[in-house]
Amino acid sequence: MNYLPVLQLAAPETIVTLTVLVVLGADLTVLRGKSLAARFNVGALLSVLGCASAACLAFHRHVDANLFNGILVVNPAVDFIKVAILALTVFTILISTGGKFTDHVGEYLAIILLATIGLMFLVSAEDLLMIFIALELASLSLYILTAFNKHNAQSAEAALKYFLFGGMSAAFLLFGFSLLYGLSGSTNLGEIAKAIAGKGLDPLLLVAIVTTVIGFGFKVAAVPFHLWAPDAYEGAPTPSAAFIGAGSKVASFYIVAKIFTLGFAGAEGSAVWHGYVAGWTPTIAIIAALSMVLGNLTAIVQSSVKRLLAYSAIAHAGYMLLGVLGNNPPSASALMFYVITYAVTVIGAFGVVTVVEETTGGDAIANFNGLSRRAPGLALCLMIFLLSLGGIPPLAGFIGKFFLFSAVVTVGGNLGLLWLVILAIAMSAVSFYYYLRVLKAAYVEDAATDAPAIKVPALTLLALALLAALVILLGCAPGLLTRYL
Amino acid sequence: MLAWTIYITFIGVLVLMLLPRDNARAARIVALLTAIAGCVVAFVGAIQQTNPGEVTTIVKADWIPAIGANYYLAADGISLVLVVLTGLAAVSGILFSWNIEKRTKEFFAFYLALIGGVYGVFLSFDLLLLFVFYELTIIPKYFLIARWGSTRKEYGAMKLALYSFVGSHLVLIGLIAAWVVAKGQLGHASLDLIELSKVHFTAGFQHWVFPLVFAGFAILAGMWPFHTWAPTGHVAAPTAGSMLLAGVVMKLGAYGCLRVAMVMFPEGVREWQWAIAALAVAGIVYGAGVALVQRDFKFVIGYSSVSHMGFVLLGLATLNTIGLDGAVLQMFSHGIIAGLLFGVVGRMVYDRTHTRDFNDLEKMNVGKLLPFAGITFVIAGIASMGLPGFSGFVAEFQVLMGAWTVFPKLTILSGVGILIGVAYTLRAVQKGFYSDTPPDAAHHDHPLEPISIPERFGAVMLIAASLVIGFFPSLLMNWIEPCFKSPLFERLLKGGAL
């Protein structure tokens, strides 16, 4: 057996793995005893270099390969998703550089990179086993990232909660996967689809569908499997929360769409109004509707911005699930556009929260009072990110919603899924209220007179400015992104 | 040329953002110059357009080919009228907010961003572009009111923002549905308004999509019973904010009803014609009746706006040329007159006396203290009552003529609204300015600050505009009339069939 082709095909992942070692080594040796900021900045620089070279490699190779029957699938579309994940990792690392939540800089950055490797393998996999292993590599890294703030008991509690829920969901997934293997005799998605096609919905398949939906429901924090999310977002160090909300979302939704459209082809059923047919699309339609409604309504009453963003993430997961149940190429590419632009926006929002939290000591909405005077640039970035999340044109969030809803509404012919789209649009009108509450604090309220000045670390400011520019650019010229999807 | 109204305004926003934060004077001057430049461009561009009956393309470029969206700016006579109105409203609003001292540069940045969005809506002939500009106006509105407003400002601002947002989302649902159906018929994705107006949507489809889109826009036009944002929003807003809300923002809604909902779904309009007319007349009478019993001066003007916008909607519902002509002219006329009324009440009176309560104002005899304000309000009141010689008369007269042929009973009812209009205006003049009570001695110790030059300029400009159109309506009618003879409106006027 020759392992060279494996290494070649997995070159971007290999580069990131090497970066992990370099970052860890540098932090152990050269950077020992230096100041926290210096260690963060140098470590971030090394990680960014590693990610950038991996991304360049993935972007410029045009390979089409399928290794070991779906264990490692490489093609330009997958490579582009990897580039997006790497870019999101870079931004997450940049916004974490001002952090004071940990002394273990090397480990923190290394674990972010390890999670990234997991996500990269995840999007490359078309085999249940590989999907599971990659997902667990990413998930375990995320649990650790959540627990990283050792000065804060909430962080440990959040991580434990996340871990227990995550472990449960892994069990559900494995159970579903084992049933699928039993039904089809294969772990390859394509072969599973072939095996179950035409057999109708036998009860075993139904159980497999439901447990898989539950497993991934936990991962993407869809209602009713969302309970870990608000606590994890609130307790985790903010850059970790950004990573959970951004990079991991992109990979998760990519793989969810792949498993259901590829692996369960033939068992999709129908969620069309007055045209219900049992299958996986109605299951996902229910979860999507619940997530949109509950996420948005619960977000209204939050006073912590991180919790608010968590509930908004739940609501957005609902919109994204619409893209999954669209189950056709236009919805798939609209879904990926939506997820990527959402991830870009949400990292930016968490970046602003990080800065505010570090300087004012909390993330309550009141801590944002008078931000437009204390840090005008930061407030402007926050406005762009939140308005994009709320779906105000011409920002990326709006165009993403337009793509997604107009792609989904055509599914099944004759506007059959219009009911879900109407629900989604109505709920996004609701969401406007809570985003505006945060912006009201930043732009309308005055800061307390003894409020400390806000200093934005240079690298974070750079990252935020780039992200804000990206949100505007992708909103005005979405073609820049859609041509790769 | 006309596209520069949008660009200049947004360049003004950028310049304002770069100004040092404490230089209020520079901010005012930049804002005024920007607004004047926009207004001049609007006038020159409008006069240059040789054939106002036709949709004249200004810019058309690919934007998002995948969904058929173009960057398509164009104008016909209706757009011209409203663009000119926006220019006038923008300049006068800045003149009336010359005294803003609190975070001046941010105030004017939001103000100009709102104006830029409004220009954009009136010039867009691509649905997505129109929608983008339409939503772009919501955010500055919110911040203008929440930050610089008065009475219950945060409530008023949030209410306005949520109403606008709900309205625009209704529109979005209809838009996506229409886009999908049109794609099936045309064979390619298109958001071009002219192309979409030729698509034949089935009657069943129009039956439910039309009310959705129409109501979505009409919320912003203050259609009863969705008008409740208007009085609270107007009252809470700073003077320039109310002037813009009543002056141009409500017109955005009415414009959307006409340009998008009615042109795209002509059969739907026929079906819902009666409902629209009934709601419009309800708004006329209800707005006027409520205005009659208000104690807060600004609420009187706020409810009068609801009443006057009712005439616009009634004109739209007539579906005949004369009624539609009147509706568009009424949009212009009300924009000018409501702006003036809010300017007098908000800036000239409230900023000086710090009260809008009629009981307090009655004791002050403001007409004696501020003769200019008194006279301006009387003139504006006369214009608002619809007396001949002012723009309001020509407009409302045409609306009523148009409505008479279609719904005579409703027209008589709306006549009651006009009568109440006379009553509440006279009441406001009497209580607000010329009461019999002798002025309180206390108020003579602190003489009110005299009316400033910018205010005088603003007031004279608006009065002049209303008078000119009152005496020479043909100036605008020459732009409006040919539009309704163009192919774009053919189906609407001929009852939906091709």
Which residues in chain B are contacts of A434 at CB distance < 8 A? none
In a 13 Å sphere around the CA of B176, the CA atoms on its Cβ side amount to 27
Looking up tokens 């999507």, which residue turns up?
A: A288
- Contact status of A478 with chain B (Cβ, < 8 Å): yes
**Single pTM value for the model:** 0.92
Euclidean distance between CA atoms B253 and B262, whole angstroms: 12
- Residue pLDDT, tens place only, B281-321: 999 999 999 999 988 888 999 999 999 999 999 999 998 89
Partner residue opposite B177 with nearest CB, options A399, A418, A433: A418
Euclidean distance between CA atoms B385 and A268, whole angstroms: 64
Cβ within 8 Å, pair A436-B138: no
Cβ within 8 Å, pair A428-B162: no
Using an 8 Å Cβ cutoff, are A262 and A126 in contact? yes
Alpha-carbon A233 to chain mean position:
13
Closest CA of chain A from B167, distance in Å: 9
The answer for B 294-323 residues in CB contact with A (under 8 A) is none
Q: In the 8-state DSSP scheme, what is residue A262?
A: I
Domain boundaries, position A466: 4-482
Alpha-carbon B67 to chain mean position:
31
Q: Which residues contact A173 (CB under 8 A, 6 or more apart)?
A: A132, A135, A211, A212, A215, A216
- Contact status of B19 with chain A (Cβ, < 8 Å): no
Euclidean distance between CA atoms A38 and B497, whole angstroms: 73
Expressed in angstroms, the distance from the first to the final Cα of chain A is: 34
- Contact status of B147 with chain A (Cβ, < 8 Å): yes
Cβ within 8 Å, pair B64-A421: no
Closest CA of chain A from B431, distance in Å: 34
Cβ within 8 Å, pair B169-A426: yes
Q: Where are the alpha helices (DSSP H) in B197-292?
A: 203-220, 229-236, 239-244, 250-256, 263-264, 266-292
Which residues in chain A are contacts of B179 at CB distance < 8 A? 406
- Contact status of A421 with chain B (Cβ, < 8 Å): yes
Which residues in chain B are contacts of A409 at CB distance < 8 A? 176-177, 180
Closest CA of chain B from A421, distance in Å: 8
User: CA A316 → CA A115, A245, A341, A349, B60, distances in Å?
Assistant: 22, 10, 12, 14, 34
Cβ within 8 Å, pair B136-A394: yes
Euclidean distance between CA atoms B114 and B100, whole angstroms: 17
- Residue pLDDT, tens place only, B190-200: 889 888 888 88
Closest CA of chain A from B143, distance in Å: 7
- Contact status of B180 with chain A (Cβ, < 8 Å): yes
pLDDT tens, chain A, 485 aa long: 678 888 888 899 999 999 999 999 998 888 888 888 888 889 999 999 999 999 999 998 888 888 888 888 998 889 999 999 999 999 999 998 887 888 888 999 999 999 999 999 999 999 999 999 999 999 999 999 999 988 888 899 999 999 999 999 999 999 999 999 998 888 998 888 888 877 777 888 889 889 999 999 998 999 888 889 999 999 999 999 999 999 889 999 999 998 888 888 877 777 777 777 878 888 889 999 999 999 999 999 999 999 999 999 999 999 999 999 888 888 899 999 999 999 999 999 999 998 998 888 888 998 888 888 888 889 999 999 999 999 888 899 999 999 999 888 887 667 778 888 899 999 988 898 999 999 999 988 888 777 777 888 888 899 999 999 999 999 988 888 888 88
How many domains is chain A built from?
1
Partner residue opposite B64 with nearest CB, options A425, A432, A478: A478
The two tokens of residue A403 are 């793509």
Which residues in chain A are contacts of B206 at CB distance < 8 A? none
Please give the full DSSP string across B166-180, using - where no structure is assigned.
HHHHHHHHHHHHHHH
Which residues in chain B are contacts of A440 at CB distance < 8 A? 146, 154
Cβ within 8 Å, pair A429-B146: no
